[in-house]
């Protein structure tokens, strides 16, 4: 692409740091700065029409949402460049550890705050797994801060149903992969989520989560009331 | 140890005799495996009452055949396993009645088996997978599972209908009789392969197929080529959703093995897509052999053998329950 060719790119080769489910992440040099290149590569098993559409839509969406999240007061990567032909996003490299590896009950509080703030701005993350959060080390204060990455499945919505599906997804992840932490972590998440949500919304969203679970297969209807 | 397995969760009634030497990893031999499936009239689905009538009318014959083919006597069977759920109540009851009867009359231990667990155990046994990510795709389930701390935990599942129901309900609208998966696969293969957009829904790790169904039902059905293309587009979209969900699960859990079980495991296109996904992430894909992918008595016999040899648990015939909503993630797995 023309634009790419006139941009000064470093000679250093991109380093693959994560082979994700829908995109590959590379660590690259961007104007002498470390950056992340998120490349949505072709999936040959998908029909080409479907494949092109999905990759294109998600790339554009993600670029928009990753910036909009900042309006909600959320730490997310800064967008450097968007290439809709290659379906590539170049963004800030946030240094830190993946939440999946360090999750604790206390961090679940922060998680609840983050999601509540996003929902307050009607942003639905759509992919609330613990691996989509980075615990960023703030060098000056010797402190940490939670950053959200990966907005590929995000969208705007005011519906309780969509907010609840974010919460339910996290619940499912906690209950499977982090199941030894589940009780404490989820109750902390709920506590923080409710206190950072507008009046009664926390309660309403949780009721909706129950409703979604009741719709699930072989769910015990009597248990959820 | 010898087990008689009785399966009756949905349209299939099956009896099987199987043997396992020593404990788990011991040799497992299938001595007999007989089945009879209820065929609903064209254009309609499984009616639980009609299916249970079918089961009631064939169960004695199936039992007799299973015992005769194994060249054993009922007396030499050690345990009786039956599928206790999840499934259709009236159908489950037929299997449970038979199991309770045999257990009382011959004084054999009775072992209730979770049907979804049975799918997994047989798939793992036949493919030799040790610690896999399991994709359970059938008329009753669409789940991505991983084993963790004594239970199979659900990583992602369908939020509404299953993939089997998607194909069945669409197929029925065209006048086929359930299960319609193979007919739809055939029509898709014979079509001109013109893709038209069908809603693609993936909600985090979960999937949803009801929107696909609505969209497919609204497509024109006049020409044969229209139907073929809809079948093709429907399959492409639904399997792409499943493939992406699988890819997400592999990327998150780093599992090196993937096992596909359940009736839909027989679909070639799904296998093809999943093999791409697995090779991309360096995982090994195992597909349960078609004959044992769907419902059968062997899976019940095997699971009861494994369960009983480890936990020594059995129940008294009067406690032989059925549970239509026996969720897999509530079953304690003592042997893995």
Q: What is the pLDDT of residues A79-108, one digit of tens each?
A: 999 999 999 999 999 999 999 999 999 999
pLDDT at A1 over 50: no
A156 and A75 in a common domain: no
**Same domain membership, residue B273 and residue B136:** yes
pLDDT in tens, A4-57: 544 555 556 788 988 888 899 999 998 888 999 999 999 999 999 999 999 999
Tell me whether residue B56 is in a domain.
yes
* Among B residues 269-288, those touching chain A with beta carbons less than 8 Å apart: 272-273, 276-277, 280-281
Q: What is the pLDDT of residue B315?
A: 93
Smallest CA–CA distance, residue B111 to chain A, in Å, is: 21
Q: Which residue has better confidence, B277 or A1? A: B277
Residues in chain B closer than 8 A to A180 (CB atoms)? 149
Do residues B153 and B103 share a domain?
Answer: no
Largest Cα span, chain B:
60
From the list B159, B251, B280, which residue is nearest A215 (CB)?
A: B159
Report the distance separating Cα A177 and Cα A183, nearest Å.
13
**ipTM, two decimals:** 0.85
pLDDT of residue A220: 63
pTM of the model: 0.91
What distance lies between CA A11 and its chain's CA centroid? 31
Please tell me the total count of domains within chain B: 2
More reliable by pLDDT, B98 or B335: B98
The mean pLDDT value of chain B amounts to 94
pLDDT band at residue B23 under the 50/70/90 scheme: low
Q: Are residues A116 and A206 in the same domain?
A: yes
Q: Is residue A32 located within the same domain as residue A81?
A: yes
Residues B135 and B218 both lie in one domain = yes
Tell me: do B161 and B106 sit in the same domain.
no
A220 and B251 within 8 Å at the Cβ level: the answer is no
Report the candidate in B43, B41, B67 with the shortest Cα–Cα distance to residue B54.
B41
Domain that holds residue B210: 131-292
With bands split at pLDDT 50, 70 and 90, how would you rate the model's confidence at A162?
very high
CATH number, domain with residue A162: 1.10.510.10
Mean pLDDT across B266-293: 95
List the structure tokens of A55. Answer: 């990759």
User: What pLDDT is attached to residue A222?
Assistant: 40
Q: Which domain holds residue A36?
A: 2-92
pLDDT at residue B335, as a whole number: 86
Residue A223 has pLDDT above 90, yes or no: no
Looking at the structure, tell me whether residues A114 and A44 fall in a common domain: no
What would the two tokens of residue A140 be? 């000056």
- Rounded distance between C-alpha atoms, residue B192 and residue A162, angstroms: 37
Q: Are residues B21 and B98 in the same domain?
A: yes
pLDDT at A35: 94
**Does B288 share its domain with B301?**
no
pLDDT in tens, A121-159: 999 999 999 999 999 988 776 788 999 999 989 999 999
Q: Is residue B203 within 8 Å of A127, Cβ to Cβ?
A: no
* Residues A126 and A164 both lie in one domain: yes
pLDDT for A225? 38
Q: Does B54 contact A at CB distance below 8 Å?
A: no
Same domain, B85 and B195: no
């Amino acid at each position: 692409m023309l634009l790419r060719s006139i941009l000064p790119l470093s000679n250093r080769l991109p380093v693959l740091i994560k082979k994700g489910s829908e995109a590959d992440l590379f660590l690259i040099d961007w104007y002498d700065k470390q950056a992340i290149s998120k490349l949505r590569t072709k999936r040959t098993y998908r029909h080409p029409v479907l494949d092109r559409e999905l990759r294109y839509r998600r790339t554009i969406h993600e670029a928009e949402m990753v910036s909009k999240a900042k309006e909600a007061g959320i730490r997310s990567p800064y967008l450097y460049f968007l290439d809709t032909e290659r379906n590539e996003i170049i963004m800030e490299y946030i240094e830190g550890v993946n939440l999946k590896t360090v999750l604790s009950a206390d961090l679940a509080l922060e998680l609840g705050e983050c999601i509540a703030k996003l929902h307050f701005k009607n942003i639905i993350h759509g992919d609330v797994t613990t691996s989509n959060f980075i615990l960023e080390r703030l060098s000056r204060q010797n402190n940490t801060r939670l950053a959200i990455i990966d907005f590929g499945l995000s969208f705007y919505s005011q519906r309780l149903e969509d907010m609840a599906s974010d919460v339910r997804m996290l619940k499912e992840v906690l209950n499977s992969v982090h199941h030894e932490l589940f009780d404490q972590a989820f109750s902390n998440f709920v506590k923080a989520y409710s206190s950072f949500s507008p009046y009664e919304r926390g309660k309403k969203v949780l009721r909706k989560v129950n409703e979604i679970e009741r719709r699930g297969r072989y769910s015990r209807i009597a248990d959820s009331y | 140890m010898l087990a008689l397995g009785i399966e009756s969760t949905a349209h299939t009634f099956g009896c099987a005799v199987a043997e396992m030497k020593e404990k788990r990893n011991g040799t497992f031999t299938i001595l007999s495996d007989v089945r009879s499936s209820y065929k609903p009239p064209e254009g309609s689905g499984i009616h639980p009452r009609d299916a249970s009538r079918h089961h009631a009318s064939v169960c004695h014959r199936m039992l007799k055949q299973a015992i005769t083919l194994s060249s054993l006597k009922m007396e030499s069977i050690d345990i009786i396993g039956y599928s206790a759920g999840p499934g259709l109540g009236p159908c489950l009851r037929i299997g449970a009645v038979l199991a309770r009867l045999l257990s009382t009359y011959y004084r054999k231990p009775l072992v209730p088996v979770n049907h979804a667990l049975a799918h997994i155990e047989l798939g793992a046994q036949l493919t030799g997978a040790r610690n896999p990510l399991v994709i359970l795709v059938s008329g009753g389930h669409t789940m991505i599972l991983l084993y963790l701390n004594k239970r199979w935990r659900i990583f992602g599942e369908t939020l509404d209908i299953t993939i089997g129901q998607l194909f069945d309900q669409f197929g029925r609208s065209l006048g086929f009789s359930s299960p319609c998966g193979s007919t739809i696969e055939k029509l898709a293969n014979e079509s001109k392969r013109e893709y038209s957009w069908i809603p693609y829904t993936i909600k985090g790790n979960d999937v949803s197929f009801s929107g696909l169904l609505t969209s497919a039902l609204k497509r024109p059905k006049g020409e044969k080529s229209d139907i073929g293309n809809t079948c093709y587009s429907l399959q492409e979209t639904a399997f792409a959703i499943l493939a992406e969900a699988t890819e997400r699960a592999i990327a998150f859990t780093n599992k090196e093995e993937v096992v596909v079980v359940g009736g839909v495991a027989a679909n070639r296109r799904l296998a093809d897509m999943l093999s791409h996904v697995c090779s991309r992430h360096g995982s090994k894909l195992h597909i349960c052999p078609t004959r044992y992918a769907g419902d059968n008595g062997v899976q019940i016999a095997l699971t009861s053998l494994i369960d009983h040899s480890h936990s020594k648990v059995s129940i008294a015939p009067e406690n032989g329950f059925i549970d239509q909503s026996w969720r897999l993630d509530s079953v304690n797995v003592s042997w893995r």
